[in-house]
């Protein structure tokens, strides 16, 4: 696949604090890509350097396309109307509004509303529409579904997938691991100023091997057992419970999730 973003030996420090220690990363054209990391690991700094919003100390960033940025919040005036904002941004970008895109995002039906009166979901859709003005090749989405209800989340996910089908590259910044699993082709994880992992969600989940969680519920509560061998662990645990005459109310088994593996990585667990 052709690359649309290349980051080579990117370094950035704030005083004596080296936040980025030589980041190397490639994003492919047309993929949905997430940059993940605990707070303070440098993911926001990395994205801002790529977006051109922050200077960096050394390294090289190559962006092969036009960028659109959908921020989690905006500085739009409370009394501005959605179409007024659209026309203003279109003028800045020296283009004309794409009414087909605006209609698909439901912006046209909000034409009489003031920004302050929009719901969280409506504001998210407007922010996305503003990011799409100028027909960008790369779209940065910062916590796009934060604060949305289930219906709004599903709707926005459909719109993100539709953008991918149009050949857009989506860079996602989110703390929602379920969202990452649902949307992303590949992920990168920052830890300690370096890239700790790059690959697909399945590849990352497989890092911990075929680990599973066995949850056993009794009248005294629930206890979890982590294992790579469900049969052997279940046999041992059930024998123990039988010998102690402890009644089991429920048994559940789950594979170790993306979120659990993510926590293990950022904590330095092996």
270 has pLDDT over 50: no
Residue 116 per-residue DSSP state: G
Is residue 183 within 8 Å of residue 171, measured between CB atoms? no
Residues 41-46: contacts with CB within 8 Å, 24+ apart? Answer: 41/190, 41/191, 41/192, 41/193, 41/266, 42/12, 42/190, 42/193, 43/173, 43/190, 44/173, 45/12, 45/19, 45/20, 46/7, 46/10, 46/20, 46/190
* pTM of the full structure: 0.76
Interval 197-224 mean pLDDT: 81
Is residue 205 within 8 Å of residue 256, measured between CB atoms? yes
Is residue 176 within 8 Å of residue 207, measured between CB atoms? no
Is residue 212 within 8 Å of residue 226, measured between CB atoms? yes
For residue range 16-43, what is the model confidence (pLDDT) as tens digits? 999 999 999 999 999 999 998 887 888 8
Helix (H, G, I), strand (E, B) or coil at 132: helix
Is residue 110 within 8 Å of residue 118, measured between CB atoms? yes
209 has pLDDT over 60: no
For residue range 150-194, what is the model confidence (pLDDT) as tens digits? 777 888 888 899 999 999 999 998 878 888 888 999 999 988 889
The answer to which of 62-76, 138-152, 200-214, 236-250 has the lowest mean pLDDT is: 200-214
Give the separation between CA 187 and CA 99, rounded to whole angstroms. 33
């Amino acid at each position: 696949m052709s690359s649309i973003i290349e980051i080579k030996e990117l370094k950035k420090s704030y005083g004596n604090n080296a936040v980025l220690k030589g980041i190397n990363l490639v994003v492919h054209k047309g993929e949905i890509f997430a940059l993940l990391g605990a707070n303070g690991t440098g993911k926001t700094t990395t994205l801002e350097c790529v977006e051109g919003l922050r200077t960096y100390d050394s390294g090289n960033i190559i962006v092969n396309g036009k960028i659109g940025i959908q921020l989690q919040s905006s500085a739009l005036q409370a009394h501005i109307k959605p179409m007024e904002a659209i026309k203003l941004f279109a003028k800045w970008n020296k283009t004309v509004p794409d009414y087909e895109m605006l209609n698909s995002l439901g912006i046209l039906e909000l034409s009489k509303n003031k920004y302050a009166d929009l719901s969280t979901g409506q504001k998210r859709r407007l922010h996305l529409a503003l990011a799409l003005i100028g027909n960008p090749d790369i779209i940065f989405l910062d916590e796009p579904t934060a604060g949305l209800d289930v219906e709004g989340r599903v709707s926005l996910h459909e719109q993100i997938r539709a953008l991918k089908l149009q050949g857009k590259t989506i860079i996602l910044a989110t703390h929602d691991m379920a969202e990452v699993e649902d949307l992303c082709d590949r992920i990168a994880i920052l830890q300690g100023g370096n890239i700790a992992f790059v690959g697909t969600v399945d590849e990352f989940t497989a890092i911990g091997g075929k680990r599973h969680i066995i949850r056993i519920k009794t009248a005294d509560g629930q206890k979890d057992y982590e294992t790579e061998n469900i049969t052997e662990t279940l046999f041992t645990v059930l024998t123990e419970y039988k010998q102690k005459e402890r009644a089991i109310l429920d048994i559940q088994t789950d594979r170790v999730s993306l979120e659990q593996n993510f926590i293990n990585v950022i904590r330095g667990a092996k």
